[in-house]
Amino acid sequence: MHVVFVSSPGPGSEPEHWSRPFTATMAAMATAAGATVLWLEPARAATAAADVPPGVAHRRVPFAEGGAVHRVAAGNRHLAVELELTRELRARPTAVVVHVGVGARGSPNVGWLAERLGSRSFAVARGAEVVCHRGDLRFRDGTSCAVVDDAARCRRCCAAGLFRRPHADDFRNRGDLLVASLQAAAAVFVPERGDADRLRAFGLNGVVFVEAGDPAAIVARLGQG
């Protein structure tokens, strides 16, 4: 089995997004189980080098968006990683592709690209990062927020001054692309209880959700199809 892991750069406010150590652990486990593994790591220039497990092929793919919350369209566009994935899957079209941290910046197109190119697609996602561009379900004033279908409100939340305001359609496009990609997945692994219901409410219908926050359980599921 050939497995391609794609991690996520995160919103830019933390030194290391959770998807990176999570991916490293899964990559090591998959390699130990006999799989060949490629890790595509979208990373900003300031991000320190990843701790890559032995036997894992690794490609760091520059991600130029700087993390400013108002740059919604830029934060959900990463042509470089899409091209890397496309080249890999055209050479080895029967791979298993696992997108870790879907919604936490970077390309939302990994899942449906994998399906289109003949590979099985899986995702590991935290509900808050999918439904909320900030990734924490908190309004700009710090109060909790449960409104994920009001693009005008999201625009106000993510504005950074009079001339740095995302367009409402940026949020609609982001949501549509994420839903399309996640619906292509053979299974979506959600580490936190209640995330499956949150994602169904966001428009993910007919998706197989698996409550699993243990990397070993996820890696074992990949081999089952």
pLDDT digits (tens, 9 = 90+) for 20-30: 999 999 999 99
pLDDT band at 199 (very low <50, low <70, confident <90, very high): very high
- The whole-angstrom separation of Cα 8 and Cα 121 is 16
Residues 38-76 pLDDT 10s: 999 999 888 888 889 999 999 999 998 767 889 999 999
Please say if the pLDDT value at position 13 is more than 70: no
* Mean pLDDT (whole number) for 167-196: 94
Q: How far is CA 42 from CA 17, 157, 180, in A?
A: 11, 26, 21
Residue 51 neighbours by CB distance under 10 Å:
9
Q: What CATH homologous superfamily does 2-134+173-222 map to?
A: Glycogen Phosphorylase B; (3.40.50.2000)
**Percent of the residues in the chain that have a pLDDT greater than 90, as a whole number:** 77
Measured torsion, CA atoms of residues 205, 172, 149, 20, in degrees rounded to the nearest 10: 70
Tell me the CA end-to-end span of the chain in Å, nearest whole number: 11
pLDDT, residue 64, reads: 86
Of 76, 67, 102, 113, which Cα lies nearest the Cα of 191? 102
Q: Which two tokens stand for residue 15?
A: 């030194």
* Residue spans per domain, the chain: 2-134+173-222
Least confident of 95-109, 122-136, 154-168: 154-168
Please give the single-letter amino acid code of residue 203. Answer: G
C-alpha triplet 138, 177, 167: angle, nearest 5°: 60
* Mean pLDDT (whole number) for 182-205: 92
Please say if the pLDDT value at position 224 is more than 80: no
Contact 190, 125 (CB under 8 A): yes
CA 211 to chain centre: 17
Contact 171, 190 (CB under 8 A): no
Residue 92 neighbours by CB distance under 10 Å:
15
